[in-house]
Amino acid sequence: MLVFEFKAYGKESQFAAIDEAIRTFQFIQNKCLRFWMDNEKVSKYDLNKYSAILAKEFPFANELNSMARQSAAERAWSAISRFYANCRKEVRGKKGFPQFKHDTRSVEYKTTGWKLADDRKSISFTDGKNIGRLKLKGTRDLHFYQKEQIKRVRLLKKADGYYVQFYIDVERREVIEPSGSTIGLDVGLKEFYTDSNGETVDNPRFLRKGEKRLKQAQRRVSRKEKGSNNRRKARQLLGKRHLKISRQRKDHAVKLARCVIQSNDCVAYEDLRIKNMVKNHCLAKSINDASWYQFRVWLEYFGKLFGKITIAVVPNGTSQKCSSCGTVVKKALSTRTRVCRCGCVLDRDHNAARHILQKAIGTVGHTGTYGLDPSNASGEMTSTLVGAILPEQVAS
């Protein structure tokens, strides 16, 4: 499944109609969640039926396309099924009980309720919300795909405008020549990663570099009167600056992961638990700024795309154990050079990367958790903006 994203252009009345469609979508999703809470043994199909009942009961809900209403019910069921799965797995801590949504920013149509123009440069929405025709601008070309391959269309609101995402049912594969090399990666805060060959990549620190402007925008929001038009504008500016940092992180992760995968046949990396690591409040901001998980997600995506092996190894002891003789010597985080009695003198991260590769050598197959969590970040599916027939374009 590929996801292509286009910027949408239209009139203010059309954008107001999109906002109304998003609010209706959120209303149906929350009502389905309440229906599940108030009744026993509710299934996915019961929620779909209930979305039709809501359309008869509320006229504004009936204006939304029927398949869009079903998508809202399915999104509620997705949260419910994830909660059930965590309970079955006996996940420690909170199980992720479904919560009511207050700031939904997208509405999702399936195969009806929209019509794509023959030139693929505009799209019209035909339900009762009167969104109408929106112009599309982007770097992707939809002419390579049939309209029947588009399984979903999502209208998405971001800080810098409105976007249309197309979910295209196509299996993407690329074949490249084997490089004959393997590599181990040790991610860090000083350098983004150090590989088993001793090469390093600088940590870009996008949040740290843009933190001054973020604070200025946040102070501007705090000074404005709540509910005023100036506060709305200040919030929009703050959102744009956060969005820029998010896009910088994604662009960096995509390009770097693609380069690593294309240059090696087997890539080993640490199976880090970021959720537990950020509990250290002294390092939480720097860890989130590094965006290790997003880099791992794209490593595994490109690994599957190019038919390469990606292996996640347990990180325990990779920094404490000598990669030459295996001697374990405990040392503090401030100690950056490892000196072993066997005569091996290596940088701490270089030693860890070599040890990670050694651990992965005995592992057979792909042990990484392939998939996009999108979000990721956002709680919704992450957009895979890579074209099947435009391999050189890997980021929007």
d(CA 66, CA 277): 43
Closest CA to 381 of 372, 389, 368: 372
The domain of 334 spans 182-202+257-361
How far, in Å, CA of 211 to CA of 219, rounded?
12
Say yes or no: 192 and 98 in one domain: no
Each residue of 243-294: pLDDT tens digit? Answer: 999 999 999 999 999 999 999 989 999 888 888 888 888 889 998 999 999 9
Q: Is residue 241 part of a domain?
A: no
Type of residue at 14: Q
Query: Is residue 354, in this structure, part of any structural domain at all?
Result: yes
Cα–Cα distance measured from residue 1 to residue 13, given in angstroms and rounded to the nearest whole number? 32
Residue with tokens 């995968």: 261
3-state SS, 189-223, equals CCEEEEECCCCEEECCCHHHHHHHHHHHHHHHHHH
Task: Indicate if 137 and 286 belong to the same structural domain.
Answer: no
- Mark whether 164 and 190 lie in a shared domain: no
Structural domain includes residue 247: no
Task: Taking each helix axis as running N to C, give the angle between helix 292-306 and helix 229-263, from 0 to 180 degrees, rounded to the nearest 10.
Answer: 50
DSSP, residue by residue, 221-288: HHHSPTT-HHHHHHHHHHHHHHHHHHHHHHHHHHHHHHHHHHH-SEEEEE---HHHHTTSTTTHHHHH
Domain boundary among 115, 149, 170: 170
- What count of other Cβ atoms lies within 10 Å of the Cβ of residue 327? 12
CA distance 353 to 194: 7
Same domain (yes/no): 93, 54: yes
| pLDDT greater than 50 at residue 325 | yes
Q: Do 164 and 187 reside in the same domain of the chain?
A: no
d(CA 181, CA 264): 5
pLDDT of the residue at 345:
65
Does 76 share its domain with 188?
no
Looking at the structure, do residues 136 and 283 belong to the same domain, yes or no?
Answer: no
The answer to whether position 217 is within a domain reads no
Does 6 share its domain with 154? yes
Question: Does residue 386 sit within a domain?
Answer: no
Calpha distance 386→172 (Å, rounded): 9
- Are 133 and 274 members of one domain? no
Q: How confident is the model at residue 94 (pLDDT cuts 50, 70, 90)?
A: confident
Residues 95 and 1 reside in one and the same domain: yes
| pLDDT band for position 395 (cuts 50, 70, 90) | very low
Which residue, 84, 72, 208, is CA-closest to 152?
A: 72
In this structure, the answer to whether residues 123 and 193 fall within a common structural domain is no
Q: Quick check: 204 and 248 in contact, CB under 8 A? A: yes
Cα atoms in the 13 Å half-sphere on the side-chain side of 315: 14
Is residue 165, in this structure, part of any structural domain at all? yes
- What mean pLDDT is reported for the chain? 84
Cβ distance 333 to 280 under 8 Å? Answer: no
Is 238 within a domain?
no
Same domain, 139 and 271: no
CA distance 251 to 253: 6
Look at residue 275 and tell me if it is in a domain. Answer: yes
pLDDT in tens, 142-181: 888 888 899 999 999 999 999 999 999 988 888 888 888 8
Domain count for the chain:
2
Residue 328 is given by DSSP the state B
Mean pLDDT of 66-78: 94
Q: Characterize the bridge pairing of strands 337-339 and 345-347.
A: antiparallel
6 and 163 in contact (C-beta within 8 Å)? Answer: yes
Rounded to the nearest angstrom, the gap between the alpha carbon of residue 394 and the centroid of all alpha carbons in its chain is 15
pLDDT at 341: 60
What pLDDT score does 277 carry? 86
pLDDT, residue 45, reads 93
Contact yes or no for 134/123 (Cβ under 8 A): yes
In terms of C-beta density within 10 A (0-12 exposed, 13-18 middle, 19 or more buried), how is residue 292 classed?
Answer: buried
Measure the CA–CA gap between 381 and 383, rounded to whole angstroms.
6
pTM for the full model? 0.80
